[in-house]
A and B are shown apart, each in its own frame.
Chain A
Amino acid sequence: MSFEVLKVQNLKMYYYMEDGQFVRAVDGISFSVFKGRTLGIVGESGCGKSSLAMTLIRILPANAKIVNGSIEVLTDRGYVDITKLSESELRSRIRWKYISIIPQGAMNALNPFIKIGDQIVEAILLHENISRREAEERAKNLLKCVNIDPSRFDSYPHELSGGQRQRVVIAMALATYPKVIIADEPTTALDVITQAQVIKLLKDLQKKFNFGLLFITHDLSLIAQVADYVAVMYAGKIVEYGPLDKVYNEPLHPYTKALLEAIPRLYGEKKRLRGIPGTPPDLRNPPPGCRFHPRCPYADEICKKEEPELRNVGEGRLVACHLV
C-alpha cells in the first residue's frame, strides 16, 4: 500500500464577480493522490476541473479565493498545508520541488525566444541550488527520458513538433523530481498517435520516478488508459470516486452512467448513443439539492431538496447520490 503524496480535503475555491455574486468553481472537493499511482479527474467543461488544477498549485487570478479546505503536500518535513503558506514561501519551498504542473496548452507556453534546453535549466535553477553545469547535465538526461535526442538541447520551440514540445514541457515538470505532478489536459491539442506516445511516456516515467500523477481531462477513454483511480466531477463537486475498473464497468452515479453511454465504442455493437439533456448549471446559482437533478433521469423528490453526501459504499468507492 503506497502512501499519499497529495491530500485534499474539503477544498472550496470561489471566484468573486464584480456584481457581488460568486462562482462556486470548486465546492468541497476531497481526494488523495498516492505515490506511483494516477488519479484521473474527469469532467466536462464548466465542472471546475481546470479551476481545481490552478487552485492546487495556487496560481489564481485576483478575484479567486480559497474559501475553505486544505491541500496537503508530502514534503521532506512531513505534510504541509499549502493553503496556509504565503506566496513567497510557496514559490521557494514547495512549487516545483514537491508539486509541479503541466498546464493546459502547455506546448504553446514555451518561450519562443529561448532554447528548450535553457528553459529546462532555468526551471531547475529556480528551485535548486546546484551549479549550472549540473543543471545542464540533468536537463539533457531529462530530454533523453522523454525520448528527445539530447543534441536538441539548443533547439528553439518552433523547430520541434507539437508532440516534442509537449514532451519538453513534461521534462520541465519533472526537472526537480517532484512528488506529485498535475497534468491538466496535457494531450488535447495532439494527434491521436502522438497522444498515445505521450501517455505511454508518462506511464513509463511514472514507473521510473515513482511520482503521483493527477491527470485531469474531459476524455473518459483517455482516463481509462492512464488512471488507477478515477474521480468524476460535476458542477464543482466530486460525484463518484473509485478504482478505475469498478467505476467504468459498474458505474453507480447517474452522471457517470450517462457519460459512459454517450461515447461511441470502437469495438462492440453499434448502439444508439444517448446524450444528456440540458446544460451544466451556472455555478453562481447552482440548483438546490443534488446539482445534477435537473438532468437526471432518475431524479426523485429528495434529490431536489437535499444535497447528497459523498458516501463510502465499499470496495474503496465513494458516490454522492441518494438513490444508491
Chain B
Amino acid sequence: MPSRIAELEKDLAPISEEYERYCAQDSEALLKIVKLRVWYPLFRGLSFSRKYVKALNDVTLTIRQGEILSLVGESGCGKTTLGKAIARLVKITRGKIILNLDGNEVDIASLSDKEFHRYRRYIQVIFQDPYESLNPRLKVRDIIAEPLIVHKIVRDKKELEKYVIKMLEQVQLTPPEDYLDRYPHELSGGQRQRVAIARALILRPRLVIADEPISMLDVSLRADILNLMMDLKDQFNLTYLYITHDIATARYVGNRICVLYLGFIVEIGDSDKVVFNPSHPYTRALIAAVPTVDSNRKITDIPIKGDVPPNPIELPEGCPFYPRCIYAREKCARERPPIVKIDDEHFVACWYPL
C-alpha cells in the first residue's frame, strides 16, 4: 500500500528551475497550469481495477494573454485531454489550473461544479467535428443563443435575437436572417464550424480552446476558417489554445508551439524556433514525417524506431520516448529528463537535446 501511494504522490514530470521561473514569472499569464495530472481509471465490470490510462502526467505550462499556443502531438499524446481538462469536461486527478482574471487568480481545478459554473463563460471550446458538435435538433438561432440563456445574461427574446444576428454577421454568415431558422444538417461543413465558433464566442470568453477545428473540413475551406479565427481574436482580444496534429498549421497559427508525447511536454517554445531547430528527437521525427508541397523535400527514413504505439497504461521508467528514440542512451532509460532551457523561448525535456 505505501508504495502505491508513493507512486501516486511522486512527481512524474520534473522541471528545471529555469522553466519553473519561465512559467511562474509570466505577468501576462492568463492560465497557469501547474503539475496537471489526468488519469482515467479502467473499470472492469463492477470492480475498481487499479490500472489507469495516464493521459496527462504532471504537465506544467503557461498560456499568455493574447497569444496562440499550438498544442501538437499524435493521437493519444494527451493534447485533447489537456484541452478538456481546462474546460473541466474530464476529471482532474491532481494539479492546479490557475485562471487569472484581471488580477484575480482562481484555481479552477479545485472548484466544485457549482462554483465553476460562473467561470465557464471565460473558457469556451470549439470542437473538432462540425457535424457532431451541433445539436441536430436545434435551429441555428437556438444553438447560438443557448450560452446566453444558460448564463442568464439575456432573457428577452428580442434582445437574444439581436445578439445572435450580430454574432452571425461576425462569423460571416450573411445575411444572418437566412441562417437563423436553419438546422445543422442544412448547412455545409464550413458553415457549421462558423456556427460553432459563433456559439463559442458569444459569451466573449477569455480563452478559447480550439480542438482540431479544421481537420474535418475541406482544404479550400480551412484557410477561411483559420483567418476568421485570427481576425476574431484581434477583434475580441482572445487567447487561443490551438490543438492540432498538423505541425504546419500549428506553426502558421501559433506564436508558440508545445509538443506533447504520452502525456508529457517534450518541447515548448517559439514556433519558428521549434520548427526550424527541433531539439527533441520526437519533434525531429515529427517534422521529418510531415509531407510538404515543396517537392524537393521528399520523405526518407523517419528518425524513429519501431512502430508500436506508446501504451498510456504502463509508463516507461525514464524518458517516455526512450523505446522509440534512435539517439537513446543508458541514462534515458533510467531517469526522466526535466524540462530545461535551450534558448530564449525554447525549452526541451531531453538529456541529450539535439
Contacts and interface: CB of A to CB of B under 8 A. Distances in A.
Contact of B291 (A218, A219, A249, A268): A219
B294 A222 contact: no
Given A164-B307, A224-B294, A225-B299, A192 B223 contact: no
Given A191-B75, A266-B248, A273-B226, A220 B219 contact: yes
Nearest to A244: B295
Contacts of A259: 219-220
A193 B292 contact: no
A279 B190 contact: yes
Interface residues of A, number: 47
B224 interface: yes
A264 B252 CA distance: 6
Nearest to B285: A193
Interface string A215-228: 00011111011000
Given A196-B302, A200-B300, A263 B294 contact: no
Contacts of A164: 307
A199 interface: yes
Given A263-B248, A270-B252, 12 more contacts: A44-B219, A191-B245, A193-B286, A195-B289, A220-B219, A263-B223, A265-B248, A265-B252, A267-B292, A270-B251, A273-B222, A280-B218
B298 A225 contact: yes
Interface string B279-315: 0000001111111111100111110100111000000
B220 A193 contact: no
Contacts of A275: 220-225, 227
Interface string A245-257: 1001100000000
A220 B294 CA distance: 10
Given A163-B307, A270-B252, A279-B190, A196 B289 contact: yes
Nearest to B249: A264
B185 to A, nearest CB: 15
Interface string A269-297: 01011111101100000000000000000
B247 interface: yes
A66 interface: no
B174 interface: no
B135 interface: no
B74 A193 contact: yes
B299 A196 contact: yes
B12 interface: no
Contacts of A249: 295
A162 to B, nearest CB: 8
Contact of A193 (B219, B225, B298, B302): B302
Contact of A200 (B222, B285, B301): B301
Contacts of B221: 275-276
22 contacts: A44-B219, A45-B218, A161-B307, A161-B309, A163-B307, A192-B247, A193-B302, A195-B289, A195-B291, A196-B288, A197-B289, A200-B299, A220-B293, A224-B295, A244-B295, A264-B251, A265-B248, A267-B276, A272-B227, A273-B226, A276-B220, A277-B224
A260 interface: yes
Interface string A42-68: 001100000000000000000000000
A277 B220 CA distance: 8
A107 B292 CA distance: 25
Nearest to B308: A161
A248 B293 contact: yes
Q: Which of A147, A196, A277 has the most CB of B within 10 A?
A: A196
B223 A266 contact: no
A273 B294 contact: no
Given A191-B74, A196-B302, A262 B290 contact: no
Contacts of B223: 261-263, 273-275
Interface of A: 44-45, 147, 161-164, 191-197, 199-200, 218-222, 224-225, 244-245, 248-249, 258-268, 270, 272-277, 279-280
B248 A264 contact: yes
B219 A218 contact: yes
A197 B219 contact: no
A58 to B, nearest CB: 27
A262 B302 contact: no
Nearest to A220: B293
B303 to A, nearest CB: 10
A196 B220 contact: no
Nearest to B72: A192
Nearest to A277: B224
Contacts of A218: 218-219
A265 B289 contact: no
B237 interface: no
A44 B289 contact: no
A107 to B, nearest CB: 13
Contacts of A274: 223
Contacts of A264: 248-249, 251-253
A266 B304 contact: no
A45 B222 CA distance: 13
A223 B197 CA distance: 31
Contacts of B292: 221, 224-225, 265-267
A275 to B, nearest CB: 4
Interface string B185-202: 000101000000000000
A215 to B, nearest CB: 12
A260 B220 CA distance: 9
A263 B299 CA distance: 18
A263 B293 contact: yes
A229 to B, nearest CB: 12
Interface string B208-224: 00000000001111111
B23 interface: no
Contacts of B287: 266
B275 A193 contact: no
A220 B291 CA distance: 9
Contacts of A277: 224
Nearest to A47: B218
A273 B227 contact: yes
A277 B245 CA distance: 25
